């Protein structure tokens, strides 16, 4: 009787484990994806980006915090590459901070720049408002 009882308990325990295991795996997955994405601050001002070089990992979400630190000059952040799945084109007025979620998918090198240009003047990009994004494959960083 005692043996049967403990056997039944073991069976119950095993059953509970079967239920728990996928739940734990699921919880881990949710935690990994739901953990706060890294925030990367990029300042735009005085015809430059800082940093002008970024390294991100493919498939890993981040939030770009784009801060225009200039007093009067509106700027822009363009990061566009069809093959790379990148399509950001956002204007940031003087003093403004804009947060943009980004999950790069394709490894490679990409250019970002400010697309502002006043008539008869050099574009902001030509004046140095440009940078490079390197997207690495997971595990290679
Ligand atoms: Cu600009």
Q: Domain boundaries in the chain?
A: 1-35, 38-136
- Give residue 129 CA to ligand 1 midpoint distance, Å: 6
What's the CA-to-centroid distance between 43 and ligand 1, angstroms? Answer: 11
39-66 pLDDT tens trace: 999 999 999 999 999 999 999 999 999 9
- Centre of ligand 1 to C-alpha 46, Å, is 8
Find the 42 Cα to ligand 1 centroid distance in Å: 13
38-136 — its CATH code?
2.60.40.420
| Distance from Cα 23 to the centre of ligand 1, integer Å | 49
Whether pLDDT at 80 is above 70: yes
Flag whether pLDDT at 132 surpasses 50.
Answer: yes
Residue 127 clears pLDDT 50, i.e. is over it: yes
The rounded Å distance from CA 105 to ligand 1 centre is 26
> What is the number of other CB atoms lying within 10 angstroms of the CB of residue 10?
10
pLDDT of residue 89: 98
Name the nearest CA neighbour of 45 among 65, 75, 77: 75
CA 74 to ligand 1 center in whole angstroms: 6
- Cα angle vertex 80, ends 53, 84, to 5°? 85
Does residue 96 carry a pLDDT above 50? yes
């Amino acid at each position: 009787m005692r043996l049967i009882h403990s056997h039944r308990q073991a069976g119950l325990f095993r059953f509970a484990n079967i239920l728990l295991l996928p739940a734990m795996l699921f919880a881990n997955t949710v935690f990994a994806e739901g953990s706060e994405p890294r925030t990367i601050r990029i300042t735009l001002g005085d015809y430059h980006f800082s940093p002008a070089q970024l390294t991100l990992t493919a498939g890993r979400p981040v939030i770009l915090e784009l801060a225009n630190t200039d007093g009067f000059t509106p700027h822009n952040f363009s990061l566009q590459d069809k093959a790379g799945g990148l399509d950001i084109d956002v204007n940031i007025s003087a003093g403004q901070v804009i947060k943009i979620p980004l999950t790069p998918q394709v490894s490679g090198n990409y250019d970002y720049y400010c697309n502002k240009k006043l008539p008869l003047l050099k574009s902001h990009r030509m004046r140095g408002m440009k940078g490079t994004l390197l997207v690495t494959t997971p595990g290679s960083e």
